[in-house]
A and B are shown apart, each in its own frame.
Chain A
């Protein structure tokens, strides 16, 4: 029998307990995975759909993409009560007779295939809407000018331009505080849904960074001391990097 290192993630323990016992009966064991932790397994099982933000969510394709890009050799498997036949899906009401054979035959994440649709709200579509949806109000369209303006401010401060001039020539005409408020609102609307994603810690980090620089925008960006004290440029670059990382999984 092949020796598989198996990890799993679930938002609730009930189904996981059942599947865990079935694996144990065949001499296999698995370990719970903590979002953001290093992946050290051959087989990863996601209990799906996931109960998150008062919705049943199917985030299987986004997890698959995450493994495809970061851990292509892992066999990513969904499991749930949906009646589906798929090389990478375990129907809990119709278990495979031999898990080792099932895992051996499952496709690796790096191969080209789509995850099973377990019937919940499609998280890949939700993520796409977050980054690209809403036309010119997508998070990309909202964040882009904020990032650009703040970097221009940073460049100008470096060149000795008085902050008052930046306030009147750049911040005011471009409605920077209002733009930030729109960004925060849009991010907050989506944020609870991201709790079912493997890169949720990146979104947590974005939230921390964004909240920490809120006072600068609440002061209408008039306070140069807040610009310095809150290290706005560093934090906005961090947010940009984290958003770009997350966008890879769209």
Chain B
């Protein structure tokens, strides 16, 4: 199905989520991770090229604010051709619609993230 390893940036405050996704998709994907906005900015400034960005909506365990929505335009500005896929535990359809309105390519419920990542949009070059 995959001819080479795609490189994915995970932006999520939960280190266990990083570990699970890295393990589940280790055969076909290489991952880099950011646990917060600061680390995300470092990754973006590093000049690394990503084939996909997985972005959680909430990046602070002590907050319910969905800062991820505001990060989508920043990510698209820095990497206009890289699909941003929003991931969240909140299944309300509003999240998906809002994310796509702000420039995300797709939306995944975290609980279902096993094979679904393979169905996300292909990188555009």
Contacts and interface: CB of A to CB of B under 8 A. Distances in A.
A155 B20 contact: no
Contacts, number: 48
Interface in A131-149: 132, 135-136, 140-141, 143-145, 147-149
Given A155-B24, A155-B114, 11 more contacts: A135-B64, A140-B89, A145-B17, A145-B20, A145-B110, A148-B114, A149-B20, A151-B112, A151-B114, A173-B16, A247-B91
Interface string A105-145: 00000000000000000000000000010011000110111
B61 interface: yes
B85 to A, nearest CB: 15
B20 A141 contact: no
B115 interface: yes
Interface in B60-114: 61-62, 64, 89-91, 109-114
A227 B96 CA distance: 34
A152 B23 contact: yes
Contacts of A156: 24
Interface residues of B, number: 19
Given A135-B64, A140-B89, A244-B91, A147 B20 contact: no
Contact of B111 (A132, A173, A240): A240
Q: Is the interface of A mostly helix, strand, loop or mixed?
A: helix
B111 A143 contact: yes
B39 interface: no
A156 to B, nearest CB: 8
Given A145-B17, A148-B112, A170 B23 contact: yes
Interface in A144-182: 144-145, 147-149, 151-152, 155-156, 169-170, 173-174
A148 B61 contact: no
Contacts of B17: 145
B122 interface: no
Nearest to A165: B23
A143 B91 CA distance: 13
10 contacts: A148-B110, A148-B112, A148-B113, A151-B114, A152-B24, A152-B114, A155-B114, A169-B23, A170-B23, A174-B16
A154 to B, nearest CB: 8
A173 B18 CA distance: 12
B19 interface: yes
A152 B89 contact: no
A144 B110 contact: yes
